[in-house]
Amino acid sequence: MVRAVRVRSSAGDADLAPTGFRRTPARRRPQARAGRLRRVRRRPPPPRDPDPGEAKDLAEREGGFAWVGLFEPDLAELSRIAEVFDLPELGVHNAVRAHQRPKLERFREGLFLVLKTVKHVAHTSAASASEIVETGEIMVFLGAGHIVTVRHRDQSRLGALRAELEAAPDRLALGPAAVLHALVDHVVDDYLAVTEAFEHDIDEVEGLVFAPRSTISPEQMHLMKRELIELRRSIAPLATPLRVLADNRALVPESISSYYRDVADHLETVAERIAGFDEILTTLLNATLAKVTLQQNNDMRRITAWAAIIAVPTLVVGVYGMNFDHMPELHWRYGYPVVLALTFAVCLVLYRSFKRNQWL
């Protein structure tokens, strides 16, 4: 086979010549003699993804199954896939519109499963975060010889999962149900990771709530409870579909059903964590409101104490500002300093009294 090499000169010129032959440089370009020979290997073109129809025919001929992955397809694109794999029309519309609750539906000889994906949003502090959890969706059409996945939003990529399964042909030999199990297990593992990150946020908030000079507000606590509710709505409804998959022998082989039960146990662990987080956040929210109420009471006591102290000179000035004709102390030589001294003494007594009672 004749390979090609690239001749590069010091001036940057390039040319191609067959291996084993060196092209004599022209006299007008003597600098090409100083060029170096470097072997260039032609890269094969990247593999082309087969057409869904071709993938289905190939799977049927070789006794395998087809896995089609889509990211936020439009109705026309998914409809073409649906014609090839005989997908239900209602499921296709739900997969395009998204915003579905986790559920499992049976259609003819297949299943339609909706999964909620979650992702913990990175932030510097839980006390200032505006969003903690992001959610997405994965719709799965499972048949005897195919599995079609439709992803919405980019919370959970499946490239690494596909590579992992392709490296384990024994698992793929179990059929599309094995892919579905790996997919559900991957999503539930993300649930565990998100709950662990959420637990760190709760620990941080708990330390801030009971700190002497806490800056966390009830609004931030309410935000965390709202994010926790969103997480619960994404996870809790999946328990029933997992139990159905564990007991379905039509499309789920008995050798895989036990793995679905294991995933259901992990999901139950996540649900228990979320329930515990909800109780902790409720307690922290009540503690935060109590601290706010206590702070407001302290502020009101300070305002009341200073108002009482200021009322004394205000009363004195008001009395002597009425300009009565018969006020003997006005004509007394020591009347003015005595009134000032008496006013100051009363204010001082009030201040020390409020200070002793921790109103100031």
Q: What is the reported pLDDT for 48?
A: 58
Weakly modelled stretches of the chain, pLDDT under 50: 1-40
- Phi, psi of 11, rounded to the nearest 5 degrees: -85, 0
Q: What is the reported pLDDT for 252?
A: 75
Q: What is the reported pLDDT for 30?
A: 42
| Burial bucket for residue 23 (CB in 10 Å: 0-12, 13-18, 19+) | exposed
How many C-beta atoms surround the C-beta of residue 266 within 10 A?
A: 16
Crossing angle of the two packed helices 75-85 and 52-62, in degrees rounded to 10: 20
What domains lie within the chain, and their CATH numbers?
4-39 (no CATH), 52-293 (3.30.460.20), 296-356 (1.20.58.340)
Q: What is the reported pLDDT for 53?
A: 79
C-alpha to C-alpha distances, 113 to 103, 137, 352, nearest whole angstrom: 6, 10, 72
At residue 297, the 3 state secondary structure works out as helix
